[in-house]
Amino acid sequence: MPRIAPAAAPYEPQIAEALERIMPPGLEPLVLFRTMARNPRVFAKMFAGGLLDKGALGLRQREIVIDRTTARLGCEYEWGVHIALFAERVKLDATQVDAIVKAPADAACWTPDERALLAIVDDLVDQRTIGDAAWSDARAHFDEAQIIEVIALVGYYHTITFLCRGLELPLEPYGARFPA
């Protein structure tokens, strides 16, 4: 049981509209979203600050950053939702799904630009900064706008992780589970 009970329908109109817009058809709104609906101001700010729209990174790159960040921070809830909803769509194979949780950033299953993304995530999670080697590698593959987006994604999903773990949200029934 989460520490704060998720809101139930009917939702306030602006929350109902946001939930309808963000959720795939036929899926109940995420426990995270329904719990955040308990504070409409934070809910609105969370959705306003979301980075799931088309940005400087491609969808696969964005998902690699999100999945690595949430995995490294131990957020099985958010990692599992993203793997369940996006892994197939962005062509993450079983080896890569496993590696994003357990392997080093330079694992052979990743392309050079993906290794650079993983190294940035690892540095930010471990050191709260980007080391010179990861920065140099990132600059070889990404422009300034893309690097800023990577940093913002890592920060945003730190916040999502704090919410999920701090509220002790139960895993979504369809969400993936961390590999053994």
pLDDT in tens, 119-145: 999 999 999 999 999 999 999 999 999
Inform me whether the pLDDT recorded for 4 exceeds 90.
yes
Inform me whether the pLDDT recorded for 52 exceeds 70.
no
pTM: 0.93
Q: Could you tell me if 95 and 103 are in contact, meaning their C-beta atoms sit under 8 angstroms apart?
A: no
Inform me whether the pLDDT recorded for 53 exceeds 80.
no
Closest Cα to residue 176, out of 84, 60, 50, 64?
Answer: 84
Highest CATH level, class, for 59-166 = mainly alpha
Confidence of residue 156 (pLDDT cuts 50, 70, 90): very high
Taking residue 105's Cβ as centre, other Cβ atoms within 10 Å add up to 20
Rg (CA), the chain: 16
Closest Cα to residue 137, out of 129, 128, 147, 148?
Answer: 147
Better-predicted residue by pLDDT, 102 or 55: 102
Q: What is the pLDDT of residue 3?
A: 96
Inform me whether the pLDDT recorded for 7 exceeds 80.
yes
pLDDT digits (tens, 9 = 90+) for 8-45: 999 999 999 999 988 888 899 999 999 999 999 999 88
Q: What is the pLDDT of residue 118?
A: 98
Cα separation, 180 vs 175, whole angstroms: 15
Cα separation, 87 vs 85, whole angstroms: 6
Cα separation, 61 vs 118, whole angstroms: 10
Domain boundaries, the chain: 13-48, 59-166
Q: What is the pLDDT of residue 51?
A: 61
Confidence of residue 170 (pLDDT cuts 50, 70, 90): very high
Confidence of residue 54 (pLDDT cuts 50, 70, 90): confident
Average pLDDT value for the chain: 95
Q: What is the pLDDT of residue 28?
A: 92
Stretch 2-11: mean pLDDT? 94
